[in-house]
Amino acid sequence: MARPFVPLVSNPHLLTILGNYWPRPRDERRFPVWDRWYETEPGIRVLVREQRPTGEPKGALVLVHGLESSSEAGYMVSMAHAALRRGYEVHRMNLRGCGASRGVCRALYHAGLTADVRHVVERIQGRAPLWAIGYSLGGNVVLKLAGELGGAAAGLVRGVIAVSAPIDLAACVRAMERPENRIYDWRFVRRMVRRVAGNGAAGLRGIRSVREFDDRVTAPQFGFQGAWEYYQTQSAVHLLESIRVPALIVSAEDDPLVPASIFRKASMEANPRLELRLIPHGGHLGFIARRRPRFWLDEFLLEWIEGQGNTPAQESVFTQE
C-alpha cells in the first residue's frame, strides 16, 4: 500500500507551484510516443499522445488534463511513466486546441464537454480494462461522463479517477476570485484569452477573470445563458449519484482552488461506488512528497486501480497510426 502522503512543504500555494514545475521522469526511448488524431465531430480533431509498455499491456489509461494545460503537464507525464513501467498503455489527451493541437483545432472546450473523451474511450476500449483519469478540470469531465452514462459506463471503462476536480464549478470560481487566489485567476485568464485570440475571436478586451471569460466567451459559444448557467449545468456534482462504475476522488483539504466542502455532499455518501480521499495537504495538484517516491499520487492511483480487480489484457488495444 502507498504510504500516507507527507508533503515536501506544508504551504498549499507553494505545493501548487512545486507540483506545476517539478521535473518529471519520462523515457520516450524505452516507451516511444505515437501521436494520434481523433476526429470527434466533423471538423473537430483532438490529439492524443499514446505509449505502450514492453510486453502485453495489462490495461489502458486515458489521462485528461486541466484548464489551459496539455498532454505535457507534469502530472500527466509522471503518471504515464509510472503506469508504463507497471505494464499499462497510456493515452494522454489534449482537449480541443490545447498543447500541440493548438492552431490545428480551433474549437473551444469547456469543463463539462464529455463528447471528446467519450469518443476516444469508445475508439480504444477493447478487452483490456480501461480507466479514465482526469486532473482538475479533466476530473470534472470524467466524473460527469461516468454520471451521464450511468449503467452503460461499465461497457466502456472499468472505472474513473478524478484528482483536484472542481465538481462544483461555481464554488471553485468563487474560490479563485478570493484576493489570495487572484494570481491563479489572472494566470488562467491570460492563457485563455491568448489561445482564443489566436483563433481570431473578437470582444476579448477587458476580460480580467475566468468568470468574465466564461460569461463573454465560453457561455455564448456553447449556448449557455451566461457563466452561472454554464457552471450550474456542467458541474459533475449533480451526476455523482448516477455513477455506476468504481470512482475515486482525490483532493487536498488545503486546495486553494477546490474547496473541500464541495465534496461533503449527501450524494457522495449515498453512492457506494464513490470513494473520496481528502488528503490534509497537497494544494492544487501539488502532491510532491518529502520522501521517495516523490510523486506519491502516481503510485497511490495505480495501487487503487490494481485493488479494484484489474485483470491482464488478452489483447492490446494500442494502435499505431
Q: Where are the alpha helices (DSSP H) in 102-200?
A: 115-124, 137-149, 169-176, 182-198
- Cis peptide, bond prior to residue 293, ω within 30 of zero: yes
| 86: helix, strand or coil | coil
| Segment holding 34, helix H or strand E | strand 34-41
99 grid coordinates: 498543447
**What's the confidence (pLDDT) of residue 102?**
82
121 near 155, Cβ under 8 Å? Answer: no
How far, in Å, CA of 102 to CA of 18, rounded? 26
pLDDT tens across 287-300, in order?
999 998 899 999 99
Question: For cell 486546441, what's the residue?
Answer: 97
pLDDT tens across 92-145, in order?
999 999 998 887 887 899 999 999 999 999 999 876 899 999 999 999 999 999
What CATH number matches the domain at 12-168+238-307, 3.40.50.1820, 2.60.120.10, 3.40.640.10, 3.40.50.2300? 3.40.50.1820
How far, in Å, CA of 166 to CA of 158, rounded? 22
Q: Which residues of the chain have pLDDT under 50?
A: 311-321
If one counts every other C-beta atom within 10 angstroms of the C-beta of residue 57, the result is: 23
**What's the confidence (pLDDT) of residue 312?**
40
| 139: helix, strand or coil | helix
Domain boundaries, the chain: 12-168+238-307, 169-234
* Side-chain half-sphere CA neighbours of 197 within 13 A: 12
| pTM for the full predicted model | 0.94
C-alpha dihedral sign at 158, 164, 169, 171 = positive
> CA geometry: angle at 140 spanning 135 and 142, to 5°?
80
* Side-chain half-sphere CA neighbours of 149 within 13 A: 25
